[in-house]
């Protein structure tokens, strides 16, 4: 499964998150006329964070990918509830053999005046094993 499919599947597969957004989780950007609350995500590969480790099976490539989850909601309370559910769902999550671990790196809360909605940015560091 590709990283984008993994992000979508784990995000919408969390009961707490799905209770808030159902399947409103979008790669890259929000569609026009989107219903809130919802999540968008962007994955970026950290090119400088690769290493080879030796396991029983030989060398393994480890790539840390920064994933940005964007939470959008009409109210601050709505954004906070969805943010808390996402952080709980992603913190420490593993899906061996492909995902070694996930760490929440940063959470930024803001108001988007151009969009007139609350936004929270959640940065995840996803360790991928190949």
Which domain range does residue 47 map to?
Answer: 3-129
**Alpha-helical runs (H) found in 29-124:** 76-90
Question: What is the pLDDT at residue 44?
Answer: 76
Based on the structure, what is the number of domains in the chain? 1
Cβ-based neighbours of 52, under 8 Å, separated by 6 or more = 59, 60, 61, 62
With residue 102 as reference, give the H or E element that holds it: strand 99-112
Question: What average pLDDT does the segment 113-117 reach?
Answer: 88
DSSP state of 98: T
Encoded tokens for 62:
């480890």
DSSP secondary structure string for all residues of 15-31 = HHHHHHHTT-EEESSPP
Question: Are 23 and 9 contacting, i.e. CB atoms less than 8 angstroms apart?
Answer: no
Give the whole-angstrom CA distance, residue 11 versus residue 90.
8
Instruction: Give the domain CATH number at 39.
Output: 3.30.2000.10
Question: What average pLDDT does the segment 107-121 reach?
Answer: 93
- The model's pLDDT over 36-55, given as tens digits with 9 standing for 90+, comes to 999 999 987 564 455 555 55
Question: What is the pLDDT at residue 48?
Answer: 45
- The model's pLDDT over 57-103, given as tens digits with 9 standing for 90+, comes to 666 778 888 999 999 999 999 999 999 999 999 999 999 888 989 99
């Amino acid at each position: 499964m590709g990283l984008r499919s993994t992000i979508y599947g784990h995000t919408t597969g969390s009961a707490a998150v799905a209770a808030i957004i159902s399947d409103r989780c979008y790669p890259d950007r929000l569609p026009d006329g989107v219903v809130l609350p919802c999540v968008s995500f962007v994955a970026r590969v950290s090119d400088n964070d690769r290493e080879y480790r030796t396991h029983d099976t030989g060398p393994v490539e480890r790539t840390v990918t920064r994933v940005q989850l964007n939470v959008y909601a009409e109210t601050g309370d709505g954004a906070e509830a969805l943010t808390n559910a996402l952080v709980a769902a992603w913190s420490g999550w593993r899906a061996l053999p492909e995902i070694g671990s996930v760490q929440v790196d940063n959470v930024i809360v803001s108001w988007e005046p151009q969009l007139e909605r609350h936004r929270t940015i959640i940065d995840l560091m996803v360790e991928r094993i190949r």
